[in-house]
Structure 1
Amino acid sequence: MSASTLPAADSGSTSKAVGWLAHGGQTKPRPKIVIGMMAFAIMNVTTIVSLRGMPAQAEYGMASIFYYLFAAVVFLIPVSLVAAELAAAFPKQGGVFRWIGEAFGPRWGFAAIYYQWQAIVIWFPTVLIFAAAALAYIWWPPAFDQALADNKLYTIVILLAVYWFVTLFTFRGMGASTRLSSLGGLFGTIVPGAILIALGVVYVASGKPMHLDLHGSLIPDFSNFHSMVLAASVFLYFAGMEMQAVHVKDLTNPTRNYPLSVLIATIMVVAIFVLGTLAVGAVIPREAIDINRGLLVAYNELWASFGLPWLGNVMAAMLAFGVLGQVSVIVAGPSTGLLAVGKAGYLPHLLQRTNAHGIPVAILILQGVLVTVLCIAFTVLPSVESAYQLLSQMATIIYLVMYVLLYVAAIKLRYSQPDRLRPFRIPGGILGMWLVGLVGLAGALVALGFSFIPPAQISTGNPVLYVGTLLIGSALFLAIPFIIYAFHKPGWKAADSDFEPFESVV
């Protein structure tokens, strides 16, 4: 999941890295934007692609191709189609809060947008752990880099420093955040990704030592459930396609061009992930892959093989800058969406406070406190890598629950509001909706099941404690929005809230 900005083809809009705002942020009048099919495909690619997760999938060798394709078919494409229909049918502000609220009422709508925000809060430490590792790999020699990246005290200090710096920087306004994100997306994700793939191709073509078995099976061993846990995390890598669904009405001929743009974006995303993952697997022995710093080691090994080891340090600096840009825009985005819903009467006035730039400072501070607690809490785990994986699995669980609600809501709305104008409909009528919804639902439920299993490739300590932490943590986070909703009062609605009421009475 990436938060890169969009290309210039999206002419009059601010960076759609603020696509998070589309879920719950306020929609103000703006000039009509016309987006071409290819431009829209690229918008989706830059929203999704992130390099951090490639080492985790590289552990599977050639079978990683299967997991990427499987996730694309049962997750990426269904989410894209369902979100596009809902965004076109319910263009008013609210995003998943409105879409799911129209089907099941505001209680479930509030839970959905809360889960979206909460998953990102839990996900923050994982990307910050990677930032700490990237900063460690700027130095020399490699042995020092590795020791520093594995040091818990160093990791906690760096990730908290980076997070709070970005949070305070965000107080300057969304414009400042998106400018930083634009530079970070270009020089910290797109350029390094292209370099990784190019180096991998040259490495293989040069006949250098290969650690990837090109003749390995493309079909994974389904009998070994524990070994498939990391593969389930690929769903979170693909999360985010729905962010751009709100722009479906800006497409020329959306009925034709939206499905085509999704298909093109899917092919591009899968190609980038597959080629990048195979490049990592080619230069690092399978047993030596570390999911937190594997990408950094891959760059070091690739450049060293061409006699330019110092460029590995440069790549680490670029990746660290990319994380800074990614975190910058995501710090404010989901919180701003939650603010719009909160001002409609679902959060107390204390959490509705904003500064002169319209940034929800109260929610950001609460978010920062939660991130700080999560970052410090991982000291009880046996390694930085195990903490990274635990938080990734928990974020995946919460995010997938939101997607389950999304699929069920889309199917129900076809029956509860059959005559509603839908500028874009999933092809195939009601049968098409059932097919897409059930495929997506099945994929999400399968991934949910695997997300509760300790991975075989990582030392996570006591498996009972690990699974217990996942179960208790997930249950707690999933229950919180219902507790908040139970205590919400009509007086919480802000005087300046322009949130339109739901059109259906549930």
Structure 2
Amino acid sequence: MNKTKQLTLFGLIGITMAFFGTVRSVPTLAITGWTQIFYMLIAAVIFALPIALMSAELSTGFPEEGGPQVWVKNGLGEKWGFVTSWLLWVQMFFGMVMVASTVGVLFGYVINKSGLSSNNYFIFIVILISYWSVTLLNLKFDMVKIAGNWGAVIGVYIPFVFLVLLGIIYMIKNGIQPNSYLGNFKPRDIIPNFRDLGSLTYLSGIIFIFAGVEISSVHANNIENPKRNYPIAVIASVILLAIFNIIAGLTVSNAVPRGKLELANITQPYLIFCKNLGIPLIFVNLISLMILIGVLVQLSAWVLGPSKSMIKVAEEGNLPKFFQKRTNRGIPITFVMIQAIVISLVSILYVVVPDVNSAFLIITITTTILYCVVYIFIAISAIRLRYIMPEIKRPFRLGNKGNGLMWIVSILSIICIIFTIIVSIIPPSILKPSQYTGYIIYQIVATLLMIGIALVIYRYKRPEWKKDYKQP
């Protein structure tokens, strides 16, 4: 490989942190108060690190395009490879509804109508308008190329830095607020209250911060000395992300009065900080606009990304010819339109569930569960590939000799993933008791339905679905 194309250690740390650095997840952290320190350590050390390290070995051993779908296909067979690619596509239906819901909240602050941030019908309408607008723009223009890097700088990096700085200044000036989520600290507050099982569900929302951690592994082949530098880069990135998120989360926990935090409203802490520190409120409007731009750029990237992966899976013969249609620009039109329609249907949750906070958390948890199923497939494949394809050259390998370290990392990962799925099915304390049964049924049915559809499609696939199929 050409040395000039290789990433440095610091380059990979920067790329990995850029992928996960977002202000949107801070309220989910903040609502747990002091317990967020414990939750973040679990999410970073037991969830993110093992998956990132296994993914590094798999991506250097199987460098072809496709990532998780390729690893699982080689490890567990074509059927489960298809299920993996399908789940990574359909989780986007829920994830993008959650991301798009923040557009309505932010837009309300941009136009000085903050009351709209808790109006379910307004949030629902804005999800529809924003997602369909971004979809139609992507059919006409290359929006990622137009808005890519500067969108991330304006919409992610600058707002996150300001959130941390303002939060630290606020805490230095005011100390710990007694009526906040951090008030009246007792050492036991750091450990979750296991008698209130509903509070454990927030762990699922915090783990969602690291969902997609396997994506950074695509750079494992491009880094100088991957055996030494990749684990250093991953560990450093995860530790730094955990530290920055905890600082942001704790400062927001300290600013918002207990019971008043709005999960879908990242503008809320900026407003409190600015009022207290005497900063003109137009700054809040500007920050809201910047985050809004970042969210729209992120939505834009997701419109085409998973669809381009899925059309390759379709052309291999896993989906009917109808799914293989492309526009003149090569855009997988069927996938793009299906996801827009399904995202519109999922967003009805914001009308059905009367509380915006509850709808936001429910959808975040559904996305996390679907990701977790994929991670179980990856962990099992990582072990199995050691035995069925031991001859594959792995530039990054867990352990110098034998398979012991891979077993330890995989089993640790599977235990954490199963625990995450279990706590995700427990109704969150934010819901009313009358909603508990509906919540459990929804999460189980949504997960089984998404897996079941993939298995049914695979069961009844036809040889003539292959792109280059020739009639015998």
How does the TM-score come out when normalised to structure 1?
A: 0.88
Out of 258, 273, 281, the residue aligned to residue 302 of structure 1 is 273
Partner of 2:447: 474
Q: Which of 179-188 and 262-271 deviates more? A: 179-188
Distance 1:299 1:288 in 2: 14
Please list the CA deviations of residues 25-69 of structure 1 after superposition, one character each: whole Å capped at 9, or x if unmatched: xxxx99972111110111111112221121122122121011111
Following superposition, the deviation at residue 256 of structure 1 comes to: 0.3
**Structure 1 counterpart SS, 2:322:** helix
Q: Which of 419-428 and 95-104 deviates more? A: 419-428
Distance 2:110 2:143 in 1: 26
1:160 aligns with 2:128: yes
Alignment CA distance shift 1:366-1:450 (3 Å) = same
Partner of 2:255: 283
Alignment CA distance shift 1:303-1:421 (3 Å) = same
1:490 aligns with 2:463: yes
Matches within 5 A, 1:92-171: 92-140=64-112, 144-145=113-114, 147-171=115-139
- Do the aligned partners of 1:62 and 1:278 also contact (CA within 8 Å) in 2? yes
Q: Which of 459-468 and 238-247 deviates more? A: 459-468
- Do the aligned partners of 1:97 and 1:109 also contact (CA within 8 Å) in 2? yes
Q: CA RMSD in A?
A: 2.0
- Paired amino acid for 2:277: F
Please list the CA deviations of residues 263-309 of structure 1 after superposition, one character each: whole Å capped at 9, or x if unmatched: 1111221122111111211110121112112x211000001112222
**Structure 1 counterpart SS, 2:69:** helix
Partner of 1:221: 193
Distance 1:352 1:461 in 2: 44
Partner of 2:379: 407
Partner of 1:75: 47
1:343 aligns with 2:312: no
Distance 1:37 1:440 in 2: 25
Alignment CA distance shift 1:261-1:191 (3 Å) = same
Partner of 2:429: 456
Partner of 2:140: 172
Identity percentage of aligned residues = 27
Matches within 5 A, 1:388-407: 388-407=360-379
Partner of 2:159: 192
Following superposition, the deviation at residue 192 of structure 1 comes to: 0.3
Number of paired residues?
Answer: 463
Following superposition, the deviation at residue 461 of structure 1 comes to: 4.9
Out of 189, 208, 211, the residue aligned to residue 236 of structure 1 is 208
Following superposition, the deviation at residue 178 of structure 1 comes to: 4.0
Partner of 2:222: 250
Distance 1:112 1:227 in 2: 30
- Do the aligned partners of 1:164 and 1:368 also contact (CA within 8 Å) in 2? yes
Distance 1:30 1:126 in 2: 41
Partner of 1:421: 393
Distance 1:417 1:225 in 2: 42
Distance 1:402 1:493 in 2: 25
Please list the CA deviations of residues 417-467 of structure 1 after superposition, one character each: whole Å capped at 9, or x if unmatched: 112211111135411101111111111111000111111034485211121
Distance 1:299 1:111 in 2: 41
Distance 1:91 1:253 in 2: 16
Following superposition, the deviation at residue 102 of structure 1 comes to: 0.8
Distance 2:255 2:186 in 1: 16
- Paired amino acid for 2:137: F
Out of 27, 37, 49, the residue aligned to residue 55 of structure 1 is 27
How does the TM-score come out when normalised to structure 2?
A: 0.94
Q: Which of 400-409 and 263-272 deviates more? A: 263-272
**Structure 2 counterpart SS, 1:259:** helix
- Do the aligned partners of 2:349 and 2:359 also contact (CA within 8 Å) in 1? no
Please list the CA deviations of residues 219-261 of structure 1 after superposition, one character each: whole Å capped at 9, or x if unmatched: 2222321111112221111112211212211110000000000
Distance 1:378 1:296 in 2: 19
Out of 319, 337, 352, the residue aligned to residue 365 of structure 1 is 337
Partner of 1:26: none
**Structure 2 counterpart SS, 1:278:** helix
Please list the CA deviations of residues 168-187 of structure 1 after superposition, one character each: whole Å capped at 9, or x if unmatched: 111235x4324323222111
Distance 2:184 2:244 in 1: 18
Distance 1:190 1:39 in 2: 16
- Do the aligned partners of 1:59 and 1:281 also contact (CA within 8 Å) in 2? yes
- Do the aligned partners of 2:211 and 2:368 also contact (CA within 8 Å) in 1? no
Distance 2:325 2:213 in 1: 30
Structure 1 runs not aligned, ≥5 long: 1-28, 497-506
Structure 2 runs not aligned, ≥5 long: none
Alignment CA distance shift 1:414-1:32 (3 Å) = farther
Distance 2:387 2:183 in 1: 50
1:322 aligns with 2:294: yes
- Paired amino acid for 1:185: A
- Paired amino acid for 1:330: W
- Paired amino acid for 2:131: Y
- Paired amino acid for 1:404: I
**Structure 1 counterpart SS, 2:195:** coil
1:45 aligns with 2:21: no
Following superposition, the deviation at residue 214 of structure 1 comes to: 7.9
Following superposition, the deviation at residue 112 of structure 1 comes to: 0.6
Partner of 2:410: 437
- Paired amino acid for 1:490: P
Following superposition, the deviation at residue 357 of structure 1 comes to: 2.2
Distance 1:226 1:179 in 2: 43
- Do the aligned partners of 1:80 and 1:262 also contact (CA within 8 Å) in 2? yes
Partner of 1:90: 62
Distance 2:461 2:296 in 1: 35
Distance 2:316 2:2 in 1: 22
